[in-house]
Every structure is written in C-alpha cells, then in structure tokens.
Amino acid sequence: MCGITGYIGENKTTDILIDGLKRLEYRGYDSCGIAVVDGKNKLYLRRVSGRVDALDKLVAGDPVKGAQSGVGHTRWATHGAPSEDNAHPHTDCAGEVVVVHNGIIENYLDLKEKLQAGGHKFKSETDTEVIAHLMEDKLKALHVQAAAMRAEMLEPVFFEAFRRTLADLKGSFAISMVWARCPGLLLAARMHSPLVIGLGKGENFIASDVSAFLKHTKKVVFLNDGELAAVRMDGVDYYTFAGKKTAKDSVTIQWDSTMAEKGGYKHFMLKEIHEQAEAVENTLRGRLLPLGGEILKAEMGLSAEAMKGFSSLQFIACGTAYHACLVGRGLFENFGLVASADVASEFTDRAKLMARGTLVVAISQSGETADTLFAVREAKAGGAKVLCITNTVGSTLTREADYVLYTHCGPEIGVASTKAFLGQLAAIYLLAGHFAAARGRLSGAEARRYAEDLLKIPRLIEETLEKEPEIAKIAEAFSASEHFLFISRHLNYPIALEGALKIKEISYVHAEGYPAGEMKHGPIAIIYKGMPLLAVAPSGRTLDLMAGNVEEAKARGADVVAIVDAASRKTVKASRYITLPEAPELFTPMLTVLPLQLFAYYVALAKKCDIDKPRNLAKSVTVR
C-alpha cells in the first residue's frame, strides 16, 4: 500500500501534510515526500529515502513559508533500494506539475514510449511519472500563453488537462495533483483505489483514508470510481471523468481511534480483504518488465543466468502459504518447468533427496514460521539455494535465504490470512513470468502480454469485491450448516483447499477441500441432502469436467454454490452462483479465492465468532 495526503488552506501546509503522512505510515515507510506551492507560484519539493521522521527533519531544517496547497505520499519501494528518485511526488520536465499516485497504470509502458519519443525525459523507474509528463503535454495543448494568463483563467485549463489525462490512463489509481502556476486548485481522482475528501472551514483535505485528517475534520466525502474532485479553500466541486458535474453528500465520521485503524470496517479481516487490490499492486509495481531477470537481478541478485541454471523448484510452506505453493507448482509446470510443493513440517526426508540444482522457494508471511525455517536449514545443509517470499523485512527467513522477494502487503492484523495470501500469489506469478522468459518459455510478445494481464488483476479484484452483498446473503443462508465441501480442479484446486481452511479457521465448522476428480474415489459418500458444496468453476480446460462433478454432487443432494464467470455459468448448473469478471485461465486463482474469503467471513459473522482472533490460533507459528 501507499498513502496520499493533500491540503489546501491557510494553515501550516507542510505540518499538516507531514502529520497526515505519519498517520498513514502503516501504508508504507520506505520512502516519502511532499510538494507544496506558495502564493507566488513557487514549488517546493522535498523527498527522502526513508521514513516520515526523516522527511520531517528535512522540512524542519528548511521551512517552507507561505504555502497554501500541497500533496504528500508515503510508500514501500517495490524493487531495488528505496531511492529519492523513485519516491513521490513526481514532476514533469518543467518541474511545475506535481503528482502523487496509488495503484498501477496498466498502459504506462505504451504511454512512456510515446512520451519519450516526444522528447520527455524520465527521472524515475515508476509508472506514476508518466502521469506528470502526460499532464504536461495536455497543458501545452490547451494554453499557449500561460504566463500571461491570470490564475482564475488557468483553473479551467488545469482542470481540463487533468480530465484529458485521466482519459488516457488505464488501470487502478488514486491521484492527487498540484500545478505551480495554479496554487488555488488541488485536483484528485479515483479509479479502483481509495480516496476521500475532508471538508473544513477555509481549508480542505485529501487522503487515502480518513485517519490522515481526523484531527482536523470529521466531515468527509468518499469518492467513487470514475469521479474527480476540484478542491479549493472555500469548497469542493465533484465531476465524472467525462466532466459532468455531480452532487455528493458528506458524512460525519463517528470513529474512535481503534475504528480509524480499522478504516471503519467491523473487523481487520474484512478491511484486509478489501486491501487486496493494493496488496497485489505493491507486490507487482516496478518488477514486471522487462521479464527475464534484470529487475530481479537488481533487487535480489537473481540473474537470468541463475534462473536458467536451476534444474527444478521446490516450494515449501505451512497453512495458507502452502496453498500458494500449490498454485506455484501448477503455474511453473504450465511453463514446462519442473516444480514440487511440500508442507514444510513434512519436508525432512525430501530435503535429503532433492536433485542438484534445485531452487527451494520458502513462503512465510511472518518470516518466522518455525517449520518453514527448519525446512530451509535442512535444504541449505543439502547444498540447495533458497529464495524466500515474505512480507516481513528483517525476519529470520530473510537472513537465512539466498534471495528475498518481499510482498510489501503492509501489516496484516487478522489471524486468518487474506491479503498476505494474495501478495504471495502475486509474487509467485511475478517469479514464474521471469523464469519463463529467462528460459525461453515465453517469447518477447508473450511476456509482454503476460505482464499486461497480470497488471489488470488489481482492477479485477476490485470488481470481484463488489459482489460482497450477494456473497453475504448466500453465506447467511448457510450459516447454520456444520459441514462444507469445496471442490475444484487444476490451478484452482488449491483455492478449494484455502476456502475450506478459511471457514474452519474463523467459523469453527467442519470443511473439506478436494480436487473435484477425487470425489468419486470416496468423498462423495459424505454428501447429504442440503449439504453446502462450493464449486470453483471458472472458464478453462477443466470446465466440462467440473460441470460433470457438480452434476454428480447435485444428484446426491448437495446444495451447490458455483464460483463462475459469465461464460462458465452457461455450462455449470448450480442452485446459486457467484459470477466473477472474466480473466485468462492462468490468473483465475487470484480472483476465485476472494468470494471464498468473504463467504467464510460472513458465516463467522453470523455465528458471532471472534473473527480477528479465532480460538486456538496465533498469527505467527514460531514453535514446531
């Protein structure tokens, strides 16, 4: 995640921006920055590689006087060392347009190539910088004599250039922008990434969540997807991306500090489910292209030559992370690369038998999972190289591994893992793409398409989470059930396992996950009339087989909930459906797990369980 702050008013702009960043620092703390404009159209940009305290000291030593508008940003660096160049805010060539951004610009490569061909010089490795340069082009097209134009004449130009810039962007984003020549106007826009406006007296605020400005105002307006805001000291106007003015109602926040930490959600688990698009963005950002090793070499020391040299991959993990391993095994096998997956606690004998040249991939959210650490030590004792995927900087696993791939998902408070799992999947897909490209399993064009498809996933996650109300109703209908069955095939079989695990963890009911093809080999015997069966059945090569398995279950009395897309819904005959947006078959696990997480949550909610702290469980299992 990353955090955005914005302010316009006559109070101490820099202090307000810095304070907001401190309150958003849980969203990222590897680099940060602010940009402010004073009444004389002078821009001040301050960025650091490091935490907000370092930025605070820098600004305190070089105070900015008379600033009336500005933006700030705190982030996790997503590849290589955190650097000032990659920190937000980003500027155009002239150093007049300043932008902060959360999300992923899916078409940034095409935009960057066109902008570079037009003479623009880029200073960072981020997708965000294209927004500033694109804005510069739009402004040039709209005004020729800006220096001679009064501020009130420039505001419509600034607004229209911003709107035209948004029209060229594809992906998920929350954006806030200032222009040095127009200090009285602060612009913001949202598409699949949260952004909220805070309404004050003679001042207004922008932020990723309300905790950034709650000490100043509790009157807020939440932007919806496809909406932009023109923010001035004396008020805010709201528009669609097409430029149509709209009316928005404000709400008064009644949160205490604990509720603010939860973002207004009833439980951390639900909040973290809704943070998954951002979690995936942060795992992917800056690490995809070019596929084949140079990015991973810079970040991890894992070169293309090294990726070519490994004979096979061995995934190890526990619990939810093990299910990510199973997806990884199938994904690497899809590219013709030999891969295995084992529960870490059962890995001792396998560690002694691994082929020479095996890369062990160990996955742990905390980086402190005892069984996984023991398995890594066994593997290293046998001479294997170890790559770890984790969310925790400086954990034991990162110190013992040869290569480290951080997921950058931010803190996960709920014991039942949700966004950490999606981050692990995103890291695996990232890794698989680099390995496949390095080993010639993907051509240049195929690698580009793979990257572009992967960059679309955060947006599809947001679309999937919009199904929450209907998923909640289905879960309520089954909340009295004491037995659940989850089935699927191929890459989604591990998702069936994860769905069963989630409902066991937080609802304390019996659930089984099975590969659908195994049902006839025994498990079908447990089906009784009215038993809830959740069938994960997106479009793909196993769809017809899945449809047959569903029919077999229905014939025994199962009450089937089918997780489908629009195309597969025509094939699978169920009593209830949860219809997801369509995605390439290879990427469906990153979407199909979402309704199962929400289903488990709402079953547990109906049962009045302690969702964030389920009985007998701990967040990090540090004993064997």
Give catalytic status of residue 619 as yes or no. Answer: yes
d(CA 210, CA 208): 7
Q: In this structure, are residues 501 and 513 in contact, taking their beta carbons and an 8 Å threshold?
A: yes
d(CA 9, CA 28): 26
Question: Cis (ω within 30 of 0) for the bond into 290?
Answer: yes
Tell me, rounded to whole angstroms, the distance of Cα 419 from its chain centroid. Answer: 8
Q: Name the nearest CA neighbour of 390 among 309, 301, 316, 339.
A: 316
Say which of 2, 325, 409, 609 is annotated catalytic.
Answer: 2
Output the DSSP codes for 588-622. THHHHHHHHHHHHHHHHHHTT--SSS-TT--SS--
Q: What contacts 92, CB < 8 A, 6 or more positions away?
A: 120, 132, 133, 135, 136
Residue with tokens 């008013």: 9
Residue with tokens 């928005």: 248
Both tokens assigned to 470: 């209907």
Cα separation of the two ends of the chain:
32
Say which of 170, 218, 607, 619 is annotated catalytic.
Answer: 619
Q: In the β-sheet with 358-364, what is the strand arrangement from edge to edge?
A: 339-343, 312-317, 358-364, 385-390, 403-406
DSSP 194: -
Give catalytic status of residue 65 as yes or no. Answer: no
Alpha helices in 24-117 (DSSP H): 52-61, 108-117
Q: In this structure, are residues 537 and 488 in contact, taking their beta carbons and an 8 Å threshold?
A: yes
3-state secondary structure of 418: coil
d(CA 495, CA 456): 20
Q: Name the nearest CA neighbour of 239 among 212, 221, 214, 217.
A: 221
d(CA 509, CA 511): 6
d(CA 567, CA 576): 16
d(CA 5, CA 213): 9
Q: In this structure, are residues 189 and 162 in contact, taking their beta carbons and an 8 Å threshold?
A: yes
Tell me, rounded to whole angstroms, the distance of Cα 345 from its chain centroid. Answer: 29
Q: In the β-sheet with 227-232, what is the strand arrangement from edge to edge?
A: 90-91, 97-105, 171-179, 186-191, 227-232, 235-240, 245-246
d(CA 360, CA 339): 10
- For 178, half-sphere exposure in the C-beta direction (CA atoms, 13 angstrom radius) is 28
Q: In this structure, are residues 468 and 276 in contact, taking their beta carbons and an 8 Å threshold?
A: no
d(CA 154, CA 292): 46
d(CA 173, CA 152): 28
Both tokens assigned to 209: 């969540």
DSSP 385: E
3-state secondary structure of 457: helix
Catalytic residues: 2, 619
